[in-house]
Amino acid sequence: MPKPKITYRKIKKYKYQLMRKGYTCQISIRKKSIKTDFIQLTTKGKLTIKRGYAWDGPSGPTIDTKTFMRGSLVHDALYQLMRLKHLDYTKHRRQADDLLKRHCLQDGMFRVRAWYVHKFVCWLGEANAIPPEKPKDELMFAP
């Protein structure tokens, strides 16, 4: 009898994982309905990020503060949809970057900080939105 096999991959570690109910918000990106294991986006712009979603939080030369967390969650989820080719990064990246700034301001971030956070993701974020040419994670099998 053949031994049962598993398929797995190595992943980078994340800093945060969404707990309890997850998070839902209304955004201006409207496209065909998108559904992944942890992210859903309806044609009416309802974005749902499910419990268990992991993200790396604010990136770059910054400090992870409460005023940055919700914005980084939504921004990372949208960039992931771009990397997975569910959203066109040339069309939707600017909206994701603007949404990051809006959430940060709503959550009490100082305007000057929100301005430079937004400028940095606009200047440097493209590499994180572009879909990879080939999968980064190599599938492995055991035994």
pLDDT 10s digits, 67-79? 999 999 999 999 9
Q: Is residue 140 part of a domain?
A: no
Q: Residue 11: its pLDDT value, please?
A: 60
* Dist. CA 79–CA 94, nearest whole Å: 11
Q: Is residue 136 part of a domain?
A: no
Taking residue 98's Cβ as centre, other Cβ atoms within 10 Å add up to 15
133 pLDDT higher than 90 = no
Q: Is residue 3 part of a domain?
A: no
The boundaries of the domain holding residue 83 are 11-128
Average pLDDT, the chain: 89
Q: Is residue 37 part of a domain?
A: yes
Q: Residue 106: its pLDDT value, please?
A: 94
Q: Please report, to the nearest 10 degrees, the dihedral formed by the alpha carbons of residues 15, 126, 103, 91 taken in order.
A: -130
Q: Residue 120: its pLDDT value, please?
A: 94
8 pLDDT higher than 60 = no
Chain centre to alpha carbon of residue 52: 13
Please tell me the least confidently modeled range out of 1-15, 25-39, 46-60, 91-105: 1-15
Average pLDDT over residues 43-66: 91
Chain centre to alpha carbon of residue 92: 13
Q: Is residue 1 part of a domain?
A: no
Quote the tokens at residue 1.
């009898």
Q: Is residue 32 part of a domain?
A: yes
The answer to whether residues 53 and 67 touch, using CB atoms and an 8 Å cutoff, is: no
DSSP for residue 59: -
Q: Is residue 123 part of a domain?
A: yes
Quote the tokens at residue 66.
């409460």
Task: Provide the number of structural domains found in the chain.
Answer: 1
Q: Is residue 120 part of a domain?
A: yes
Q: Residue 3: its pLDDT value, please?
A: 54
